[in-house]
């Protein structure tokens, strides 16, 4: 169901008539200059967004700006974080729109989404629970353990989001290559155009051939 919708999105949406007609997705991917600008903007905005979050997290861990109240650090940086997040989401959706099937069958992209959800969930928990009594520890050089745990989880989850995103361009686990069975399953290679090739099956086949030649 999801894949069929993505096939339509990539190959049919906005496509005109004629042999050279392209869908909007194909036109975006084929626009070299705009694609480069889009990807560059996404990466730069990621630095802005993650960097501002890291500043607050490091303050919550008591590692930086220890004499400055947490609320002051957060309030000064929040506008930049929000602006970065809005641009990041907009450019990220545009990048996904350009080649949805590639991302759909990419284990790194799927892992990125998982860690992104965890990071957002941590933000919700922090703002709805941990911050309830912030007035009591706002000026402390070392905030309470709950705030520090939330900061550590935030740093870890966002670093993993960034790492998974950077792995996406690499073709180590592309569908159609001999890769572990679990990876084929996790990125649904069997429904892709390249198909699923299990590394374990290839190894067994190689052993069987060697055995046949030995006899």
pLDDT of residue 213 exceeding 60, the answer is no
**Residues 119, 112: Cα–Cα separation, whole Å:** 10
Average pLDDT over residues 14-23: 81
Question: Phi/psi of residue 198, each to 5°?
Answer: -80, 130
Listed range (16-30, 76-90, 148-162, 176-190) with the worst mean pLDDT: 16-30
pTM of the predicted model as reported, rounded to 2 decimal places: 0.87
Residue 13 scores a pLDDT above 90: no
205 vs 16 pLDDT, higher one: 16
Say how far apart CA 43 and CA 103 lie, in whole Å. 17
Burial 24-41 (b: 16+ CB within 10 A, else e): ebbebbeeeeebeebeeb
3-state SS of the chain? CHHHHHHHHHHCCCCCCCCCCCCHHHHHHHCHHHHHHHHHHHHHHHHHHHHHHHHHHHHHCCCCCCCCCHHHHHHHHHHHHHHHHHHHHHHHHHHHHHCHHHHHCCHHHHHHHHHHHHHHHHHHHHHHCHHHHHHHHCCCCCCCHHHHHHHHHHHHHHHHHHHHHHHCCCCCCCCCCEECHHHHHHCCHHHCCCCCEEHHHHHHHHHHHHHHHHC
> How would residue 21 be classed by pLDDT, with cut points 50, 70 and 90?
confident
Question: What's the rounded mean pLDDT across residues 52-79?
Answer: 93
Residues contacting 208, CB < 8 A, separation 6+? none
209 has a pLDDT exceeding 60: no
The C-alpha atoms of residue 70 and residue 51 are separated, in whole angstroms, by: 16
Residue 34 has pLDDT above 90, yes or no: no
Q: Tell me which of 72 and 211 has the higher pLDDT.
A: 72
Per-residue confidence band for 108, with pLDDT thresholds at 50, 70 and 90: very high
Per-residue pLDDT of 114-169, as tens digits, reads 999 999 999 999 989 888 888 999 999 999 999 999 999 999 999 999 999 999 98
* Confidence label for 72 from pLDDT (cuts 50, 70 and 90): very high
User: When comparing pLDDT for 53 and 212, which is higher?
Assistant: 53
Least confident residue range of 15-24, 50-59, 61-70, 184-193: 15-24
Predicted confidence at residue 33, as pLDDT, reads: 84
């Amino acid at each position: 169901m999801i894949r069929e919708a993505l096939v339509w999105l990539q190959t049919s949406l906005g496509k005109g008539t004629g042999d050279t007609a392209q869908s909007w997705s194909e036109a975006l991917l084929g626009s070299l200059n705009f694609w480069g600008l889009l990807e560059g903007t996404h990466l730069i905005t990621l630095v802005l967004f993650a960097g501002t979050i890291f500043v607050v997290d490091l303050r919550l861990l008591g590692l930086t700006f220890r004499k400055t109240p947490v609320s002051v650090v957060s309030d000064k940086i929040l506008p930049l974080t929000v602006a970065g997040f809005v641009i990041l989401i907009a450019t990220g959706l545009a990048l996904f729109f350009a080649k949805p099937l590639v991302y759909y069958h990419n284990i790194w992209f799927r892992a990125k989404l998982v860690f992104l959800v965890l990071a957002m969930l941590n933000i919700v928990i922090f703002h709805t629970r941990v911050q309830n009594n912030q007035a009591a520890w706002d000026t402390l050089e070392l905030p309470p353990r709950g705030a520090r745990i939330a900061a550590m989880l935030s740093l870890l989850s966002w670093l993993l989001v960034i790492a998974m995103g950077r792995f996406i361009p690499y073709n180590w686990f592309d569908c159609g290559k001999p890769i572990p069975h679990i990876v084929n399953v996790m990125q649904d290679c069997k429904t892709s155009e390249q198909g699923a090739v299990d590394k374990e099956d290839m190894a067994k086949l190689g052993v069987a051939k060697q055995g046949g030649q030995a006899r």
